[in-house]
Amino acid sequence: MAEQSDGVAAGQRDNYPGTTNDPLTPSEPTGVADARTWLFVPGNRPERFEKARASGADQVICDLEDAVDPEHKSRARSDVKWWLSHGGVAWVRINGVDTEWYDQDVSMLYKLAGLRGFVVPKAEVPAALHSLGRRLGEGRGLVALIETARGVHRAYDIAECDSVDRVAFGSIDFTSDIGAEETDSSLLFARSTLVMASRVAGKPAPVDGVTTTLDDPVVLAAAANRARELGFGGKLCVHPAQLAPVAAAFQPSAEQIAWARDILLKAEQSGAGASAADGQMIDRPVIERARRILVRRPSPAP
């Protein structure tokens, strides 16, 4: 890794995900880095695979871990393999590194045309992630799902791993691991740690964990908004009904978009360095905030 200053690798600060060197040209979405909604579909429910793909989720994850009982693991793996070999496109949450199913999950799936990458549960060991990333090679990603106390403790090392494209939070398993209730206060330290670790490593904002409420958009929107306020950039979902309120929470309002455009226009007009306009200081942090708002805006309808 390049020499660091203040914890951010040289050359990354100006190109942090969501920014460009041209203040009026926000970055184009790049898939894994900008995905807001990540929809799980059970690996043993192949009839749902195409429905998940058509749901409007930014990314689909075929789940071979928590969603599948041990006696159904082999069949689920085969169903996912068939679909990804016949036009399906998705991520796969494989079983954990220390399980009996891990090696077969990886060996049977890592070369498939439709595989976008692996979501690794109970991520704790950077060396294991690095090894898996090398095996995957170019063109496929790796999301480290941190859901244990040890994983949070090692979050900075995990985020710094070259093979890891993005970090996600398994909040339900995490509270179980530490023996806590699933509340905002009990999860605040872990969530903030993942946000900081991702930022220091120059990685995209992390993905927040699942909210178990399926049919209450107010609850879902509130949970997603809290995650966004902390610095998360997306959220794991377990039902298509969760997608719309979650996606909306990670999109800027019309007022925010108008403010960002105005800031970037004034920054371009004033040239390099800090400036003031209409009683507001316009410096680098303000410009970067404006850029990130425009990156999060909804894509225009085709």
For the stretch 208-221, pLDDT in tens is 999 999 989 999 99
33-249 in CATH: which number? 3.20.20.60
For the stretch 113-128, pLDDT in tens is 999 999 999 999 999 9
Neighbours of 55 (CB within 10 A): 18
CA 269 to mean position of chain CA atoms: 35
Which amino acid, residue 203? K
Q: Helix count (H) and strand count (E) of the chain?
A: 12, 12
- Calculate the average pLDDT of the chain: 86
In sequence order, the 6+-apart residues with CB closer than 8 A to the CB of 28 are: none
User: Which residues does the chain have with pLDDT short of 70?
Assistant: 1-30, 271-279, 296-302
Contact status, residue 64 vs residue 76, Cβ threshold 8 Å = yes
**pTM (2 decimals)?**
0.81
Neighbours of 225 (CB within 10 A): 15
Give the three-state DSSP class for 273.
coil
Domain boundaries, the chain: 33-249, 254-295
